[in-house]
Chain A
Amino acid sequence: MFDSLGTVIGRVLRLGAALVAAIGIVGSLVGYLLTGLPGVYAALIGSGAAFLFTALTALSVLIGSKLNLAGFLGAVLGGWLIKMVLFLIGFSFLNKSDWLTRDSRPIVFFTVVSAVIGGLVIDTLIVSKARLTATLDKP
């Protein structure tokens, strides 16, 4: 029995969500101990943003795979471009906000980096273990 693209991406999203939840909880505890309540917000924002960023790419591949080649590239690359601009604007507003104190900001960075690296490990493990067909799975 072979895995479809939808199955692989579903697995990646489920395990990725579990990992991000774990990083969010650990980061919130560390953040609370270091900087108080803003540290909790910082950890939750960092882990959530990293998950949203990686999950949107996976979803764009899943949606794009149902289209022809040009549609696939449009969905993946167009989605990537829009996502980058939205994250740039979002992080820019976040960096200027008052409620996120200056000493809690590094927690955003460290949770983003740990969630992204952990997500990449999950992606690689799932794709390497997936039983993908060598031929086109669409008739």
Chain B
Amino acid sequence: MQIIHLAAEAATQVSQISGNLGVLGYGLAAIGPGIGVGLVVSKTIESIARQPELAARLQVTMWLGIAFTEALALIGLATPFIFAA
């Protein structure tokens, strides 16, 4: 019974939230690329530590990985131009 009361209270508070929701949108858009770039870089460091002589080739592969991941971030930054109220 108390849980239902709390849920109703939370729903009332959520409906009262106001402000620019685009701020939340950028935060959500940054999560994916942030994790993605972190994974690309960590695996590249690991690979260079295992085979340092392949560093030049791994750097190119890493750049391609970052280019794909950051595309998502740039599209996320540009979404306010199309979703703005």
A interface with B by C-beta (< 8 Å): 5, 8, 46, 50, 53-54, 57-58, 61, 64-65, 69, 72-73, 76-77, 80, 84, 87-88, 91-92, 95, 102, 105-106, 108-110, 112-113, 116-117, 119-120, 123-124, 127, 130, 132-138
Q: DSSP majority for the A interface? A: helix
B35-73 vs A, Cβ < 8 Å mask (1 yes, 0 no): 001000100010010001111110111111011101101
User: Can you offer 19 A-B residue contacts whose CB atoms are under 8 A?
Assistant: A5-B56, A54-B71, A57-B63, A57-B66, A61-B62, A69-B48, A77-B37, A91-B77, A91-B78, A95-B81, A105-B82, A106-B81, A106-B82, A108-B78, A110-B82, A127-B60, A132-B60, A135-B56, A137-B56
A136/B45 contact (C-beta < 8 A), A57-B66, A88-B77 known = no
Ranked 4 nearest A-B pairs via Cβ: A109-B82, A105-B81, A61-B63, A109-B81
B interface with A by C-beta (< 8 Å): 26, 30, 37, 41, 45, 48, 52-57, 59-64, 66-68, 70-71, 73-75, 77-82, 84
Which partner residue on chain A sits nearest B80 by CB separation? A95
- Contact check, B75 vs A112: say whether CB atoms are below 8 A apart: yes
Least CB distance from B48 to A in Å reads 6
- Contact check, A120 vs B56: say whether CB atoms are below 8 A apart: no
Least CB distance from A100 to B in Å reads 9
A134/B54 contact (C-beta < 8 A), A5-B59, A73-B45 known = yes
A95 to B82, CA, bound (A): 10
A89 to B40, CA, bound (A): 26
Contact of B64 among A106, A110, A123, A137 (CB under 8 A): A123
